Amino acid sequence: MQITVRTFITNSLVLLQFAAAYSTCAAQEPEIIVEVDRQQLYEGESITYRITLNHVENPTPPKLNGFDSFRVESLGEQALNSRQITIINGRRSEITRRGRQYDYRLTPISSGQFSIPAPSAVVNGQTLTGREILLKVIAAVDQDIVLLEMKASRASVYPMQPFTISLNIAIRQLPDPLSDRSPLSVQPNDPVKLSVPWLDDNQVPKDLAPAIPWQEVMNPLISRSKGNRGSSDGMQVNNIGSQSAFSIFSRGTMVFLPPSVRTTRTNADGDQVQYVEYTLQREFVPQTTGVFSFGPVTMKGMFGTELADGRLDGDQIYAVAKAATVVARDAPLESRPTSFSGGIGVFDVTASLTPVSASVGDPMTLSLRVHGEGTLADIRPPDISSIPEVSQYFKTYDATEATHGNVREFTYSLRPLTTDSQEFPAIPVSYFDVDSEDYVTVRTVAIPITIEAARQLAVSDIVSQQVNNSNGRLEVSDAGIFANHTSLQTLRASEVSIGRWLALWSGMLAAYGVAAIGIIRYQQVHSDPLEKRRRTAKSRAAESLKRAQQYRDSAKKECLDAMNVAVTGLIADFSRVSEAGMTSHDAAMRLQAVGADTSLQDRTTGFLDRCDAARYGATEKGTSELLDECRLLVGDLGRELEKRC
Q: In this predicted structure, what is the pLDDT of residue 553?
A: 81
Q: What is the mean pLDDT of residues 198-207?
A: 88
Dihedral of the alpha carbons of 22, 25, 26, 29, in degrees to the nearest 10 = -170
Q: In this predicted structure, what is the pLDDT of residue 389?
A: 92
Q: How confident is the model at residue 519 (pLDDT cuts 50, 70, 90)?
A: confident
Q: Among 12-16, 90-94, 499-503, which range has the highest average pLDDT?
A: 499-503
Q: What is the mean pLDDT of residues 111-133?
A: 89
Q: Which amino acid type is present at position 345?
A: G
Q: What is the mean pLDDT of residues 529-538?
A: 81
Q: In this predicted structure, what is the pLDDT of residue 338?
A: 92
Q: What is the DSSP string of 132-143?
A: -EEEEEEPPPP-
Q: What is the mean pLDDT of residues 52-67?
A: 88
Q: In this predicted structure, what is the pLDDT of residue 552?
A: 84
- Residue-wise pLDDT for 370-392, tens only, equals 999 888 888 999 999 999 999 99
Q: In this predicted structure, what is the pLDDT of residue 282?
A: 96
Q: What is the mean pLDDT of residues 42-47?
A: 84
Q: How confident is the model at residue 94 (pLDDT cuts 50, 70, 90)?
A: low
pLDDT > 70 in the chain, percent = 81
Residues 217 and 196 sit within 8 Å (Cβ to Cβ):
no
Taking the alpha carbons at both ends of the chain, their separation in whole angstroms is: 71
Backbone phi and psi for residue 419, each to the nearest 5 degrees, phi listed first: -95, 5
Q: What is the mean pLDDT of the chain?
A: 82
Q: In this predicted structure, what is the pLDDT of residue 348?
A: 95
**Which of the residue ranges 17-31, 52-66, 115-129, 504-518 would you say has the lowest mean pLDDT?**
17-31
Q: In this predicted structure, what is the pLDDT of residue 340?
A: 94
Residues 94 and 83 sit within 8 Å (Cβ to Cβ):
yes
The answer, yes or no, to whether residue 267 has pLDDT greater than 80, is yes
- From residue 13, alpha-carbon distances to 1, 10, 21, 23 in Å are 21, 5, 12, 15
- Residue-wise pLDDT for 307-361, tens only, equals 888 888 888 899 999 889 999 999 999 899 999 999 999 999 999 999 999 999 9
Rounded-to-integer distance, Cα 567 and Cα 573, Å: 10
- Please tell me the chain's helix, strand, coil percentages from 3-state DSSP, rounded to the nearest 5: 30, 35, 35
Q: In this predicted model, which residue has the larger pLDDT, 72 or 2?
A: 72
Rounded-to-integer distance, Cα 152 and Cα 164, Å: 6
Q: What is the mean pLDDT of residues 21-28?
A: 48
pTM here is 0.55
Q: How confident is the model at residue 496 (pLDDT cuts 50, 70, 90)?
A: low
| 3-class DSSP state of 390 | helix
- Residue-wise pLDDT for 149-194, tens only, equals 999 999 999 999 999 999 999 999 999 899 899 999 888 777 899 9
Q: What is the DSSP string of 541-558?
A: HHHHHHHHHHHTTT-HHH
Domains of the chain, each with CATH number or no CATH: 23-138 (2.60.40), 146-328 (no CATH), 340-452 (2.60.40), 530-644 (1.20.120)
Q: In this predicted structure, what is the pLDDT of residue 322?
A: 87
Q: In this predicted model, which residue has the larger pLDDT, 296 or 252?
A: 296
Q: In this predicted structure, what is the pLDDT of residue 197?
A: 92
Rounded-to-integer distance, Cα 230 and Cα 232, Å: 7
Rounded-to-integer distance, Cα 533 and Cα 572, Å: 9
Q: In this predicted structure, what is the pLDDT of residue 252?
A: 54
Q: In this predicted structure, what is the pLDDT of residue 244?
A: 43
Q: Among 6-15, 199-208, 342-351, 454-463, which range has the highest average pLDDT?
A: 342-351
**Which of the residue ranges 160-164, 252-256, 335-339, 417-421 would you say has the lowest mean pLDDT?**
252-256
Q: In this predicted structure, what is the pLDDT of residue 69?
A: 87
Q: In this predicted structure, what is the pLDDT of residue 297?
A: 92
Q: In this predicted structure, what is the pLDDT of residue 11?
A: 55
Q: How confident is the model at residue 532 (pLDDT cuts 50, 70, 90)?
A: confident
